[in-house]
Amino acid sequence: MALGKDYADQECSIARALEIVGERWTLLVVRDALYGVRRYNDFLVHLRIPRAVLAARLQTLLDAGILEKRRYQESPPRDEYVPTDRALALWPVLRSLGQWGRENVPGTQSMRTFHHARCGTELGAYGECPACGAAVPPKDVEMRPGPGLNPDPEDPVSRALLAPRRLLQPVEADRA
């Protein structure tokens, strides 16, 4: 039997979520949006993703209300893609998925570490602060370079993301 294109017969909420975020690249676009990437060309150079695929994934995320378009330039018109509350709600999912990868996929190195900005403690597997005992919203998370991160990347987005920074802080502000 041919593999179906979707999980239309599945009532499971995981299957429903995968209808939106289960396609290849989609969660990486969300990850970049949480890192502060907002502009089409920045996603393009950072992810090294084919243009047509990026356009399709951004549209999926817009349709699902995970990203929203915001105009930042009038002539020529340019929009950026800003994460909504639905994107922020995926942060603990991405955090625990990354943790699972480090623990279960051989040879996976820590590219970045994530800390509660207020106390500096490294976050737990679900994005919580073990010291403060509370969930930490993305805006209060500090991202720091980890041992697996290339210290001399070529693209300007990776360079902007080298220094410790808050999640959601727009990348282009660093480059201005």
124 vs 170, beta carbon nearer Zn ion: 124
Cβ–Cβ < 8 Å for 141, 113: no
116 vs 165, beta carbon nearer Zn ion: 116
Cβ–Cβ < 8 Å for 38, 171: yes
Q: Minimum CB separation from Zn ion for residue 119, in Å?
A: 3
Residue 172 CA to residue 130 CA, distance in Å, equals 32
Q: Could you tell me the CA-to-CA distances from 32 to 48, 105, 109, 119, 155 in Å, in that order?
A: 12, 21, 18, 24, 14
97 vs 119, beta carbon nearer Zn ion: 119
Q: Which two tokens stand for residue 96?
A: 């625990």
Q: Minimum CB separation from Zn ion for residue 115, in Å?
A: 8
Q: Minimum CB separation from Zn ion for residue 164, in Å?
A: 16
| Phi, psi angle pair for 110, to nearest 5° | -80, 110
| List 14, 89, 132, 173, residue binding Zn ion (CB under 5 A) | 132
99 vs 121, beta carbon nearer Zn ion: 121
Which window, 41-49, 71-79, 130-138, 142-150, contacts Zn ion (CB under 5 A)? 130-138
Residue 139 makes contact with Zn ion by CB under 5 A: no
Residue 38 CB neighbour total at 10 angstroms? 22
Q: Minimum CB separation from Zn ion for residue 146, in Å?
A: 19
Name residues contacting Zn ion, limited to 65-124 (CB under 5 A). 116, 119, 121
Burial classification of residue 23, based on how many CB atoms lie within 10 Å of its CB (0-12 exposed, 13-18 middle, 19 or more buried): middle
110 vs 121, beta carbon nearer Zn ion: 121
3-state class of 157 per DSSP?
A: helix
Which window, 10-18, 37-45, 53-61, 131-139, contacts Zn ion (CB under 5 A)? 131-139
**Residue numbers at the binding site for Zn ion (CB under 5 A):** 116, 119, 121, 129, 131-132
